[in-house]
Amino acid sequence: MNIAPDPKSVPHATPLSSEANQAPPATATGVLTVDLDAIVANWRKLEKTAVPAECAGVVKANAYGCGAAQVAGALSRAGCKTFFVATTDEARVVRAAVPAQAAIYVLSGFFQNTGEAYAEIDCKPVIGDLNQLAEWDVFCRRSGWSGGAAIHIDTGMNRLGMTITEAEGLIPRINAGDHGITLVMSHLASAELLNSPANARQLAAFREIASAFSGVPASLANSSGIFLGSQFVFDLVRPGCALYGINPTPESDNPMQPVVELKARIVQIRNIERGDTVGYGGTWTARRSTRIAIVSAGYADGYFRAASSNDGTRGAEVVVAGRRCPIAGRISMDLIAVDVTDLDKSLVRRGHMVTLIGEGITVDELAHHFGTIGYEVMTSLGRRYARIYKGGDATVEPPAPVEPAAEPT
Ligand X SMILES: *Cc1c(COP(=O)(O)O)cnc(C)c1O
Residues 355 and 237 sit within 8 Å (Cβ to Cβ): no
Applying CB under 6 A, which part among 9-17, 37-45, 239-247, 259-267 lies near ligand X?
239-247
Amino acid letter for position 264: A
Smaller CB distance to ligand X: residue 224 or 290?
224
Choose the stretch contacting ligand X; rule: CB under 6 A; options: 240-248, 311-319, 361-369, 388-396.
Answer: 240-248
- Total binding residues for ligand X by CB under 6 A? 12
What is the pattern of x (binds ligand X, CB under 6 A) and - over residues 334-363?
A: ------------------------------
Sign of CA dihedral 366, 372, 373, 376: negative
Q: Among 45, 95, 124, 187, which residue sits at the site for ligand X (rule: CB under 6 A)?
A: 187
Are 325 and 276 contacting, i.e. CB atoms less than 8 angstroms apart?
no
Smallest distance from ligand X to CB 160, Å: 7
Stretch of 232-240, 253-261, 328-336, 376-384 lying at the interface with ligand X (CB under 6 A): 232-240
Q: Which of 45, 81, 105, 280 is catalytic?
A: 280
- Which residues does 218 contact at the CB level (< 8 Å), separation at least 6? 183, 184, 185, 206, 210, 234, 235, 236
Least spacing, CB of residue 375 vs ligand X, in Å: 6
Which range in 89-97, 206-214, 233-241, 326-334 contacts ligand X by CB under 6 A? 233-241
Nearer to ligand X, 136 or 299 (CB): 136
**Cβ of residue 185: shortest distance to ligand X, in angstroms?**
7
Residue pair 99/77 in contact by the 8 Å Cβ criterion: no
Shortest Cβ 221–ligand X spacing (Å): 8
Q: Minimum distance between the CB of residue 90 and ligand X, rounded to whole angstroms? A: 12
Query: Who contacts 349 (Cβ-Cβ below 8 Å, separation ≥6)?
Result: 5, 266, 269
Q: Does 238 bind ligand X (CB under 6 A)?
A: yes
Query: CA 326, CA 359: separation in Å to the nearest integer?
Result: 15
**What one-letter code names the amino acid at 118?**
Y
Catalytic site residue 60?
Answer: yes
Q: Which residue is nearest to ligand X (CB)?
A: 240
- To the query of whether residue 280 is one of the catalytic residues in this protein, the response is yes
Using alpha carbons only, what angle is made at residue 302 by residues 297 and 303, rounded to the nearest 5 degrees? 55
Q: Select which of 45, 60, 124, 263 is catalytic.
A: 60
Task: Give Dmax over CA atoms of the chain in angstroms.
Answer: 81
CA–CA separation, 123 vs 125, rounded Å? 7
Note the helical H segments in 237-394.
Answer: 363-370, 374-379
Contact between 223 and ligand X (CB under 6 A)?
Answer: yes
Q: Rule CB under 6 A: choose which of 107, 218, 256, 381 binds ligand X.
A: 107
Nearer to ligand X, 73 or 240 (CB): 240
User: Nearest 5 degrees, angle CA 302-CA 304-CA 86?
Assistant: 50
Residue from the set 62, 132, 222, 341 that interacts with ligand X by CB under 6 A: 222
State how far the Cα of 303 lies from the Cα of 316, in Å rounded to an integer.
Answer: 10
Least separation in angstroms between CB 204 and ligand X: 19
Phi-psi category of 249—alpha, beta or left, where left has phi over 0 and alpha has psi -120 to 50?
A: beta
Which residue in 15, 64, 76 sits closest to 398, CA to CA? 76
d(CA 356, CA 358): 7
Beta strand extents in 200-335 (DSSP E only): 218-219, 236-237, 260-272, 277-278, 284-285, 290-295, 317-320, 323-326
**Residue 58 interacting with ligand X (CB under 6 A):** yes
- Reference 48, options 228, 226, 234; nearest CA is 226
Q: Smallest gap, in angstroms, from Cβ of residue 110 to ligand X? A: 15
Using CB under 6 A as the binding rule, whether residue 245 contacts ligand X is answered as no
Residue 58 in 3-state DSSP? strand
Closest CB to ligand X among 30 and 240? Answer: 240
239 binds ligand X (CB under 6 A): yes
Q: Does 241 bind ligand X (CB under 6 A)?
A: yes
240 binds ligand X (CB under 6 A): yes
Which lies closer to ligand X via its Cβ, residue 162 or residue 264? Answer: 162
Footprint of ligand X (CB under 6 A):
58, 60, 107, 187, 222-224, 238-242
Instruction: List residues with catalytic annotation.
Output: 60, 280
